[in-house]
Chains A and B, each alone.
Chain A
Amino acid sequence: MTPLLQLKGISKRYGGVQANSGIDLRVDAGSIHAILGENGAGKSTLMKLIYGVEVPDDGQIIWKGQPAHLSNPSDARRLGIGMVFQHFSLFETLTVVQNMALIVPGSKAALSARIRDLGARFGLTIDPRAVVHSLSVGERQRVEILRCLLLNPELLILDEPTSVLPPPSVALLFDTLRALKAKGMAILFISHKLEEIRDLCDTATILRQGKVTARLAPRERSARELATLMIGRPMPPAVHPTPQGLGEQRLELARLDYLNDDPFGVSLSDIGLSVRGGEILGIAGVSGNGQQELAALISGELTLPGSHRDCVRLMGLPVGDLGAAERRLRSFAFVPEDRLGRGAVPDMSLSDNALLTAHSRGLVRNGFIRRQTERSFTADCIARFDVRTPGPHAEAGSLSGGNLQKFIMGREMMLDPAVLLVAQPTWGVDIGAATEIRQRLVAMRNKGAAIIVISEEIEELFEICDRLHVLHKGRLSPSLDVARTTVDEVGTWMIGAAA
């Protein structure tokens, strides 16, 4: 049988980085093929090449036995390739049907009818007239999948589709994908989650550092074997913290309401939580349910009116109306989820990035910057947190995601805060660095710090947290003791189905 899609020796480099090198791949109709690899292995680049977003430097793409030259996504769509992007390619200010009309021909009425029809057949119901910014992340994914299906593709690419879904919705998505496969469609499923791939996929290609390391049938292998092929060594062991005595109350949120005046944002209501010294509190939930707002309200990037200053208490004192700088003076530190442009200034050196939040550590005297102290603080941070970089003079923008995260994490930890807030600590970070970051967090907890971790990765939260809350549509679940709850229970809270 002629394969539907075949890649031969595909290579792509960006500047000094070889993202893909000599990649061969074969996908057959009516099958689900996994591309497995950790962050930075080159999965997304490869998909962009297949979808025509980027053009390979070298190698051949063969579609149904014929060489294909894809210089544009519309070329790929014409052949019958559809793609669901990890961070979506939808437009928030347009309606569902307008988003479709951008690439699907047909009148508005006809498109709406087809959206309803396809939605009913594949469990992807959505209101065609809804404006995208009013939809949840899961609904947006449905829109993105439906938009592909409207063009009757023969190959559907999904880039990390489960990273944005709560566990119960993952099962629904898999049902949909199996139904599509039964219709004869080929699916390329990109993921770094081993169990999912073993559950769903017929065949898999494993990538490591831009190269293919294996082609196999995932159901015939153990997760341990797959992990070894993916990262080149066995998966590092988890770092479960041991129970310990708790210190005093460090941070408390009570009856916190926040009405977002950004129409594209999320409002929070009746948020209550507290953290003591010596524990890690996790905030689970799918991004877009108020995580950014909650983090900003805790960090002081968003402030409350003076009348509500009691809603946020740091070290026993009301701080709701204080800005980020003042909260930092009260021994608070924060590692935000976006590193470039928020946690660090890309065009500044690491030294100058240390100054961003560590200025109170003697880096400034009488308003003057002390370059010597700045440099030694930075060098210290680089050494202690194993940041791979030429030195303090390197620009933050030139570091890899994992290294920059280690630097920011190190900078905030060196401030020795009583309360540390960390949002999405391992987003886009390779497994080695992720393990190191989790170990650091647990070590800090053991020394008595109060830590809050906001994360989409349930496994991560179960690994390092003492307690959990789940954030869903701007509301927080009651506190769940990690030792006594289950992934299923948390998953139920994540879709708002728990009582």
Chain B
Amino acid sequence: MTILAFILAGTLAAATPMLLAALGELIVERSGVLNLGIEGMMALGAAIGFVVTYHTHNPYLGFAAAALGGIILSLVFAILALALTANQVAAGLAIGVLGQGVSSLLGKPLESQTLNAPDKLPIPGLADLPLIGPVFDQDVVVYLTLILAVVLWAVLNHSKLGLIIRAVGESPGAARAIGFPVVRIRLGAIAFGGALAGMAGAYASTIYTPLWADGMIAGRGWIAVALVVFGTWQAGRIVFGALLFGALSLGGLIGQAAGVALPSQVLASVPYVVTIFMLAVISSNRRRMRLNTVASLGQSFSG
């Protein structure tokens, strides 16, 4: 396998946890809610997924438990942000801290333990292609995440459910005036975002690097939040953003391939630096931001 193919294949896998979480946050934000607790929900999902898979040897059970954990934590956020109309930034930070704390607590007994990563699922025909073959030799979650991105794109743009979510995000007052249950729709979106963030964490801890280390999410939840902004709230652009960050997180490998000898800390910083750079570039186009941004994002709505 060539180093190039290896990097291409690795990019997809590295992008998956960020993409999965960002797709969840996309739906949450499109409904007008800003949940900054992604990092905490991913950390919780990672710990639950790891612990359950470790004890049951059943990765599906691990994912399901992680999704459930993400949902429960996101519901804590929902109670604060929706029922009690708390400041959404603060509520997101609160469940973020809580999720990371509980994650450390749960993972503590299994520190440095490993799991067997599940088998890969090569796509017949494509996986045997020269050069780019390894790109089509991935685990099942990678494929499902990409399919999910397409599904969410279709739902948001071509279904009634998508119209309703967008309407609630643009103007909750008008949506309520014509009879949509704004709070319940937002609740659903938040729970969906929680489930995806939980599974994103489980993917990171049980498949991508099947080893438990405290703090292993390492900012990927925050990058997922940033990805939604980069993608200007469009599923397709978020996929591209996630792939870019997937490639960046393989900085070490790429550096080696290019024959550059940089300290590991510099390479580890690259995704963060690029995040800041991209945020500035994308956000400075105010017209485009205004056209795409969700009008009621982050504002409390009671009624």
Contacts and interface: CB of A to CB of B under 8 A. Distances in A.
Contacts of B180: 102
Contacts of B177: 53, 73, 85, 89
Interface string B275-303: 00000000000110011000100000000
Contact of B179 (A74, A92, A101, A262): A74
Contacts of A90: 174
Chain B interface main SS type: helix
A94 interface: yes
Interface in A96-124: 98, 101-103
Nearest to B177: A89
A94 B163 CA distance: 8
Contacts of B166: 91, 93-94
B139 interface: no
Contact of A91 (B160, B170, B290): B170
A265 to B, nearest CB: 9
Contacts of A52: 179
Contacts of B171: 89, 91-92
Contact of A89 (B178, B286, B291, B295): B178
A137 to B, nearest CB: 15
Contacts of A263: 287, 290-291
Interface residues of B, number: 19
Interface in B164-204: 164, 166-167, 170-171, 174-180
A365 B180 CA distance: 52
A89 B173 CA distance: 8
Given A52-B179, A53-B177, A103-B179, A94 B167 contact: yes
B164 A102 contact: yes
Contact of B290 (A72, A85, A101, A262): A262
A89 B290 contact: no
Contacts of B164: 102
A77 interface: yes
Nearest to A73: B179
Nearest to A48: B177
Contacts of B175: 89, 91
A89 B124 CA distance: 51
B239 to A, nearest CB: 22
A239 to B, nearest CB: 36
B7 to A, nearest CB: 39
Contacts of B176: 53
Contacts of B287: 261-263
A72 B179 CA distance: 6
A72 B290 CA distance: 32
A258 interface: no
Nearest to B168: A91
A91 B182 CA distance: 14
Contacts, number: 56
Chain A interface residue number, banded: 20 to 34
A103 B291 CA distance: 24
Nearest to B181: A72
A261 B167 contact: no
A91 B167 contact: yes
A427 interface: no
Contacts of B163: 94, 98, 101-102
A174 interface: no
A102 B160 CA distance: 7
Q: Which of B163, B177, B295 counts the most chain A CB atoms within 10 A?
A: B177
A23 B291 CA distance: 44
Nearest to A133: B291
Interface in B96-131: none
Q: Which of B166, B174, B180, B286 counts the most chain A CB atoms within 10 A?
A: B174
B170 A102 contact: no
B170 A103 contact: no
Interface string A49-86: 00011000000000000000000111001000000010
A101 B174 contact: no
A93 B179 CA distance: 19
A263 B179 CA distance: 28
A98 B170 CA distance: 14
Contacts of A53: 176-177, 179
A101 B286 CA distance: 30
A92 B177 CA distance: 15
A103 B160 contact: no
B133 to A, nearest CB: 42
A407 to B, nearest CB: 26
Q: Which of B163, B170, B179, B287 counts the most chain A CB atoms within 10 A?
A: B179
Contacts of B178: 73, 89, 102-103
A296 to B, nearest CB: 16
A94 B170 CA distance: 10
A85 B287 CA distance: 29
Given A74-B179, A77-B179, A98-B163, A91 B286 contact: no
B289 to A, nearest CB: 10
A264 B174 contact: no
A89 B170 CA distance: 11
A98 B166 CA distance: 11
Q: Which of A94, A102, A261 counts the most chain B CB atoms within 10 A?
A: A102
Nearest to A93: B170
Q: Which of B164, B171, B286 counts the most chain A CB atoms within 10 A?
A: B171
Contacts of B170: 91-94
11 contacts: A72-B179, A74-B179, A85-B174, A89-B174, A89-B175, A91-B166, A91-B167, A91-B174, A94-B167, A94-B170, A263-B287
Give 10 nearest A-B pairs by CB, closest first.
Answer: A73-B179, A89-B174, A74-B179, A89-B177, A91-B167, A89-B178, A91-B170, A261-B287, A72-B179, A263-B291
Interface of A: 52-53, 72-74, 77, 85, 88-94, 98, 101-103, 261-264
Interface of B: 160, 163-164, 166-167, 170-171, 174-180, 286-287, 290-291, 295
Given A73-B179, A89-B177, A93-B291, 15 more contacts: A53-B177, A73-B177, A85-B177, A89-B171, A89-B174, A89-B175, A89-B178, A91-B175, A92-B171, A93-B295, A102-B163, A102-B178, A102-B180, A103-B179, A263-B290
